[in-house]
Amino acid sequence: MNKLTKIISLGAVTISVIFLISLVINPNPEPIDEITLDEITLDEITLDEITLDEITLDEITLDKLLKNYFSSHIIKKKNDINFDTYFTEKDVLRLKQKLPIQDEVRFELSSEKIELYEKLKPNKNTIVIYPIFTSAAYSDNGFYDYYSGDCNESCLIDISFENPEFTYNSSGITTQILHILGYNFITDIDVDKNPEILQKYETVILLHNEYVTQKMFDSISSHSNLIFLSPNALYALIEVNYDNNTITLIRGHDYPPGVANAFGYEIEERFHEYESDGNCFNWKFFKIENGYHLNCYPDGSIHFNLELIAKIKDL
Question: Which residues face 238 on adjacent strands?
Answer: 249
In angstroms, the CA 238 to CA 277 distance is 25
**How far is residue 313 from each of residues 67, 116, 181, 294, measured CA to CA in Å?**
26, 14, 11, 13
pLDDT at 59: 64
In angstroms, the CA 77 to CA 105 distance is 10
pLDDT at 57: 58
In angstroms, the CA 53 to CA 70 distance is 18
**How far is residue 273 from each of residues 48, 165, 214, 297, 304, measured CA to CA in Å?**
39, 25, 23, 11, 23
Closest CA to 79 of 15, 20, 25: 25
Show me where the domains of the chain are located.
3-112, 118-314
pLDDT at 128: 98
User: What letters, b where the CB count within 10 A reaches 16 and e where it falls short, cover 150-165?
Assistant: ebeeebbeebbbbbbb
Residue ranges in the chain modelled with pLDDT below 50: 3-4, 7-51, 53-55
What is the per-residue pLDDT across 278-301, written as a single tens digit (0 to 9) for each? 999 999 999 999 999 999 999 999
What is the per-residue pLDDT across 123-146, written as a single tens digit (0 to 9) for each? 999 999 999 999 999 999 999 999
pTM of the predicted protein model: 0.84
pLDDT at 202: 98
Q: Cβ atoms within 10 A of the Cβ of 257, count? A: 5
pLDDT at 112: 94
Q: Strand, coil or helix: what is 256? A: coil
